[in-house]
Structure 1
Amino acid sequence: MNPAPLQDWLAHRTPDARRFPYDRVVDAYQHHGKHFVPHEWTTPLQLTRQRLPSVRGPHQQLAAFLDIALDKVDDRFDYRTFLGLRLLPIPDPDSDTEPAQRLLARRDRLHVLLLADLAAFELRALDHPAAPPGRLRPAGPLVAKRLRHAMRAANPALHRLSLPLREVNDPVALARRLVTMTCVDRTEAERLMLRTTLLPVSTVHDERLFLRTLQCFEVTLGLLAVDLTAAVTAVTEDRLSMAGVRLTLAARLLHETAPLWSMLATMQPQAFHRFRTHTDGASAIQSRAYKLVESLCRTPEPHRLRSTAYLSVPDVRDRIRAGQISLDDALSAIRADRDILAESPTLADGIRAFTAAVFQWRRTHYRLAVRMLGAERPGTGATPGTPYLLGSRDTTVFGDHTTPRPMADVR
């Protein structure tokens, strides 16, 4: 891989951010793996970052890309840079004020694009077995199983986007249709987003499955945080039925992620352990979106706020300390005087549905983590590992407003 295009771009007196050779840089990172990218690439990228103030054109995207590409060099590699989250348009309750249906459509579009990109990679590996990257490449039947789960994960979003795929028994053929369909109307900005958010640390085949699946989860969790924020607002404004509707929709969306777990379960354990040796510093406990969802359900106890889980997401911790209202807080504020669950069956149904969805999500997450890590193995970045992946030992999601079936202590 020759860094000449990057050096040529830098040779201009005032380089244009819009002409930055993203594709060549991404190609190099995918060829070597981020952990192994040679200095002839990282050194000019560092120089690019130094010159950013003098670069012509909008360079916010370039700055975000360099932040992700140089995390290993800067010794600040973490979950957010590993997944390239700054370059993904993840819904956020602090900045997104669009109507709920528009935000859902945006999430669905991004969800489908991520899955289609993963499918395209798996199909290329099937069609060209000798093409790189090929370390620990899975066999054809396992890839077909993986694609079947990917199509199941994409289907609900495709139907909402009025882009349903005609059912066929062959998951490989169905995946080809999805890839073709998304390529037809994919914008250049979307193509670039997909490329720049896939900088694996290694050349192990299954790492791309891991990255894309976690990105899909992050996109969904971001929208759940928006839904929960809307539910909190609805309760404080005494619109209990509306709060129930948002919780029911959030529960449905969380249930739709179930095929993602099945898809991730096709990852080969030996492949996971091979690339995991290079992900030190990145851990799922650093997920801002998950902590937002958790804290919007119920305000964490003081000892939880002092834990590694919340120290890893200081902005969420600051929100809570500044008085963020959780749904549990909002319900408790009016529950003393009213039987709100009897008063609003829609709210009661929404709470029960979302609680059940969260516990199912946590159980599935835990089972898969045990399979990959073992019950007592440490996590990445010296984090506590499997027992810490779910976040909380609580057997309730919204305080005592529901009484879900208890689960084992997984913290």
Structure 2
Amino acid sequence: MRKFIAKTVEEMPPSGIRKFFDIASEMKDIISLSVGEPDFVTPWNVREAAIASIERGYTHYTSNHGNPALRRLIARYLRERYGTSYDWKTQTIVTVGASEALDLAFRAVIEPGDEVLVPAPSYVSYMPGVAFAGGVAVPIETKECDGFTVTAQALEAAVTPKTKAIILPYPNNPTGAVMTKEQLAAIVPVIEGSDLFVISDEIYSELTYGGRHCSIASFAEMYPRTVVINGFSKAFAMTGFRLGYAAGSEEMIAAMVKIHQYFMLCAPTASQHAGEEALRHELDTDFAQVNKMVSDYNRRRTFVYNAFKKMGLSCFEPRGAFYVFPNISGMGMTSEEFCHKLIHEKHVACVPGTAFGAAGEGFMRCSYASSMDNLKEALKRIAEFVDECRK
């Protein structure tokens, strides 16, 4: 049967994140810091909205674009929070998670052989997504000394005549890096001068510490050449609802809708009603529930970062998302070997940096989207493991 499987799919390695998650799922006394999922339960008012929509019989397809009420709220949210103005009717689409929005953007933009620049390390799905769309993913290595951000010099050096687009994944998974308005401004001339399209994955936009997220779409020259990807999974603790969206030019959204209507039709109706409640409530309460979660994440972030520093490990201080990316290159093992030994000897699951590309060698990702009790015990075990490795 393997002869029937496409070569691109056959040759694609499985997710490095799920690999360690699966190992952890079969072990006892395991503390998993491997999967990036909020440990908060979806707020009750949001769950209630989903239940009520089913009870009221809202169980049919919605518009391919998504429910008008939800799209109005998305447009309002993007305008009020990030200063980007989109026509809800023609410049937004609701998708099955941010992952589908990414896939639609890839397939709407990429033609066979097109190169797409992907900062590395970054989320595991970008490079496979580009490949599945027929493109060639070209990594731009980001460095700890640069705060894992894309510099103008690195971007300019990576552009070729075949380069068509760049993915901007900030706040970043796995590093926790953010790009400030000033850092984004530095790469705008290169993007514009190279005539690149921007796929800006802003799924962690609300999870920032020390300042509000800046979208590259807020730059006038970037607005028409950027599609913004976002969703409800991370900031609203709604991973299981599979609800995302994209906003961009009328032409780009129309292209994405064309693909979406043939293969997905619409996002789940109950999830869309839940999303309406989530956005409406937060907009009307100045993001009270989200801010509470962010405050708790920030407390955990500080604890985990300081714990790794106390171990004597070089560790970039994350400014967004809910991950820390300590440097373990001095442990005498590859990232894969370190995480394998850690999970089997100490029953703590983390993800090797190489799961996020070759640039992640020498690092590991730890999610702090877990209880403080779990984090304290996990960091205690990791500290013991590091001490043993040094002896």
Say whether the fold is shared (TM-score over 0.5): no
**TM-score (norm: length of structure 1):** 0.22
Higher RCO (Cα < 8 Å, 6 or more apart): 2
In proportion to residue count, which structure has more helix? Answer: 1
**TM-score (norm: length of structure 2):** 0.23
Bigger radius of gyration, 1 or 2?
1
In proportion to residue count, which structure has more strand? Answer: 2
